[in-house]
Every structure is written in structure tokens, then in C-alpha cells.
Structure 1
Amino acid sequence: MKRRLSSLDRVTLDLSAPKRPLVISMGDPAGIGPEVTAKAWQALRQGPTPFCVLGDPALYSSVQTQVIKDVSEAVEIFDEALPIFQGFEAPGVVPGQPNPTYAGVILSAIERGVDLVLSGQALALVTAPIAKSVVMAAGFSHPGHTEFLGALLSTTPFDQTRGPVMMLAVDGLRVIPVTIHCALAEVPSRLTQEAIIHAAIVTAEALKRDLGLTAPRLVIAALNPHAGEDGAFGDEEGRIIAPAVAALKAKGLKVRGPLPADSLFHTEARATFDAAICMYHDQALIPLKALDFWGGTNATLGLPIIRTSPDHGTGFDIAGRGIARPESMIAAIQMAAAMAHGRMNQ
């Protein structure tokens, strides 16, 4: 089941360049990450971008695997076997039964993946899903992957606008939530001009640098119904969002808003912008998942490395049953390759 590079991957892969593999961190070994990764390899093994897994070979026994000692080995063997980078054993895993025992190896795989990309040995990092409740046993204190990666890379020299900013994408829509993992009641107090401006600038820079859009068109969603109806339904639009939009225009960005969210995502509206800056999690995720529930990709913008992830969780309830769908992992792999090559071609 090959997925073509879509409009969210507007870049031509340079197949003449020396190949480096992507790396995929295993995520929670008791979840569906290993299954969808194995299925993604089956779908993409004849494709242009090899990858290797940072995980336990026993988790991928549904396909042919080969343990490697150097990620460069993945390039030569990829079409015959799923390459597994040694050193991430997780013995005794029971699918569907998360276990804090594996917290250390889960986080180690992510950290090693970051190191491999930063050192130039790998092209990009794709992360399989983790469960916060499991990795907290190893001292994990972040709301999710995005914030963890931002902390890992916070001291890394990088001359572009810094993230981390979360972008979710499907064919035809990219969304960026300004506030992410917090209660809906907390959103108004967390929403600031600075946060909106930061999300928009990082997004615009990433769309230019990593996806080849020379002049990205951004829209800024309102928070309240009818964009606040001139203050009748809330004052955040006039007090926070509109000044942020004005500041972004003054910086030369192509930006419109605040626009009512209920009319922002229909077909004709989506054709007028390249990304939508949304005020909270569900405002961004509901239209995205309505368009393509199975194929969404999560990308972290504003980092010195390329990182993507499937837009789904660990799926403990279906782990080990062989029914997990790999479309989102396939999309995440293809988007990581496209973004990495886009950055290389700058």
C-alpha cells in the first residue's frame, strides 16, 4: 500500500544524493508502534528512502529483519529485511499491557535517534507512539514527544527560528495548535500574542525551508464563535489575536485573521491557505481527522532535525491483534523524507 507524496510534501526528492536512512524509535513496545512500522516497511521496501528501527528485533517478527551495528548498513539491506539497530532490547513484552519496566529503553531510543540525526548519520527521526503514564517511571516530565524533543535540543546551535511547534498534516490541510495539551478551560489564559506570533513565524520558516513554499499563506483562527462577534462572545479576538495578526503582517508574512473557525476548513477555504494557526488542540485536530482519520502526520517544526510521527496513540486496546492500520506511519515516513530532502536542497 504505497502512498504517493501528496500536496503536503511539496518537494522533489534528490535521488542522486548519497542515501542516508531515516531512523524510527520503537515507541511503547506493548503498543501498535512495532506492528505499523513492520507494515510500513512492507509497503515502502522498494521505495527511495530506507529506514532502520531503534527497537527489539523480537517485536518485528512478522517480517524479515536483520540486526545492524551501523545505521549506514540499512541502505543496502532495506529491500530484503527490516533493519534493526542493535541495543534496544525489551524482553518479555506482552502486547496491550504497558509496563513501566520499559520506560528507560523507550526514552533511550528517542534520544539515540536524535543523536543519529544530529551527527549526520541519519536523515530524519520518526517516532512511534509512547504513553506518558509509562515513561514517567523514568523521570519523563513533559506533556508529550514535542516538548521532550524541544528540551533535548534546546541547547543545540540552530540559526533558524526555534520551535518546538506542532504541525499536523494530511493531504490538503496543515494545522498548528497554539495551545496543545491543556484543559479547554485553561486555553484563554494561555493564549498570548507572543505565542501566536511565535507559532506563525516558526511555521512560515519551516514551510519555506522544509517544504519549499516560497511565500507561505497563513490563516489565524478565532477563538470564539463568529470571531467574537465584535466582543459580544469574548474579547480575545480584539485583545490578543488581531494584534498578533497585525504584528505578523508588519513582519512581512502573508497572514489573514482572526477568522471564524466554523467556516475555515471547507474545500474552497482550504485552497486559499497553506497552513492554519489554531487556538487549541481540538480546533485543529477535528477538521484534520474529519478529512483523513487514518493518514494524519505529526511534525515538529523549528528544530535542527526533522522529526515526524504518526498522528495516533499507542493503541493498547488493539495491540497484538494484527489489525492496526499503517497509513499514518507510512505518511510520517514519507513526510520526514520529503522535509529532510527539502532542507538539504536549500
Structure 2
Amino acid sequence: MAQARTTRTADERTNLYEQITNRIIAELEAGRVPWVQPWGSSKASIGMPYNAVSNRRYSGINVLTLWDAIVSRGFASHAFLTFRQALALGGHVRRGERGAGVIYTRRFIPKEERRRTDNESREPSGGIPFLKWFTVFSVEQCEGLPAHICEPRPPIPEGLILPQAEALIEATGADFRIGGPSAYYSPRHDYVQVPRPDDFHDPVNWHRTAFHELSHWVGGAARLDRDQTGSFGSVAYGREELIAEMSGAFVCAALGITPTVRHADYLGSWLEIIREDSRAILRAASAASKAADYLLALRPDAARAANDDDPEPDPALL
């Protein structure tokens, strides 16, 4: 069985964007938000998908793709690997198993540029970005793998993981204010405001809201410097909300807190953005991963967890 791993032409790459976009649109139109999976009906605990060999987390649009595979196919593990990686470990993918397609980008450096940089003892710059597509399989679709590869990560204890959430919020050093009737991030004054936890019907929603707003904070001028100038109802505003929604969900999943939609009233504007640009969801997912990685890197235990949390190459392209 040959592993599906090809470099796409420009036309095929455009078609790939459209395939991904159409799948996301179909989910949103059906009232399902792909970055908020129905974990209550899933065999897997809350978590982020990762490569079973390198332990690197998948990022961007690949998180949504693999979360969908985990929930829809009933996998209990978040671990995936390629066909060749399974063989290298002494195992194999079972005959007839269907993998999930993930993407990432590389840059093609012409030979002349490589020769020039070699002569000048410097790293090549620029290059032509191109999309690569390959197939991964859950470790549960394989046989003969080493036992430690197949062992699921310890389940997340039931209930909120308040200590980790509080530690991360404190570690950000953000001007994080609790109180008042609404949640928001002020780009002008660079602070986050969220209501008191006991003002929420379900206290877990306080944590989801906090990380949504901190995802906006990460986009501030002093950090990732995203465009946050859009007025309410504008495309730019909807795009920033989409990024914060996904980033907040990624952070919650990494901390073991079940993510939910915090701003379902924006679904219409998100659909409009995605329909008009087949690359919009990939850009938003990539930006969301960057924001989530920025926050998670601030955890007190981030240095010890670096090998587990080192993200894969940015899959966005863009």
C-alpha cells in the first residue's frame, strides 16, 4: 500500500482550498461548529491531536480535520502517524483503513539561490511557498506498533481545571480585570475585562470567555499585531472574532476544558467570510494556532512540556 503524499499543482492546490472550505461551510450551515466538537459523545478525552512519533501537536486547519476524525470515527486517542512512520516502528496500517488528509507548506528554493547562499554562508531567503498534502492514520488503525505508542494519554480529571487556567492567566502578565457586565479586550488601552465567574450560569463558561478575550489580547500591537481596527459588523471584525473563537477553543482543549461556541451570533458573518474566500478559513485557523501557541508557551510548565507542545510546520500557506 503506497502512502498518499503528493505535491499539488496550482490548480490542484486551489481545489484543495475549496474542498476544505466547502466542508467547513457545510458544518456551519448544519449548525455545527467544527472547532467545538461534541466531546460528550466522544470516546476521546479533551485534548489536541498530535503526531505519535514526534509528539508535535498538529496546528491550524489540521486540528479541525483531525478532531473531526476522532469524533466521527470513534477514536479514543489523539495520536496519529503516517503510513511510513508506522512501518518504521515495526507496525503497519491495517488493510482497508481510511486515513485523514493533513496539509502543511514548504518553500521551494531555486538551485541558483541555494548556490548563492552556500557561497555567502547564509540562510536562503524568500522562496516559493507550496502546499503539501499527506495522509495520517490514528494509532488505533494500526497493528504491531510498540505498546508505548498506542497507550492513550491519561484522561483529564472530571470538572474544571481551574489551577492550570489560573496559572496561565497569571503567567500572561496581561492587564486582566474581573468585574463589570461584559467581556471584551480593549486594543487602545491593552487590557482584558471579563465578568465575575459567579455571574455565569455555568462557571466553566468563565474560562472559555477568558481565553477568548486573551486570544484577542495576543493579537494586540505589542504581541502578534493582528489587524483589530474593524468596526462591529465589518468583515475585519468578523475575521478577528473567528480567530479568537478558534484560538480560545484550542487553548481550552489543551488545558482539558471542553470548548463551546462563545459567539454563535457571528455564525452568519463567518459563513459570509468563508464563502467569499476559499483561503479564509485556513488563514484564520493558522492565526488561531499562532495565538494559542503564544498563550500556551507562557505556562509555568511550558519548558518541561516543550517536546510535547512543539507545533508542526505552519499549515496555512499564506
Instruction: State whether TM-score is above 0.5.
Output: no
TM-score scaled by structure 1?
0.29
TM-score scaled by structure 2?
0.30
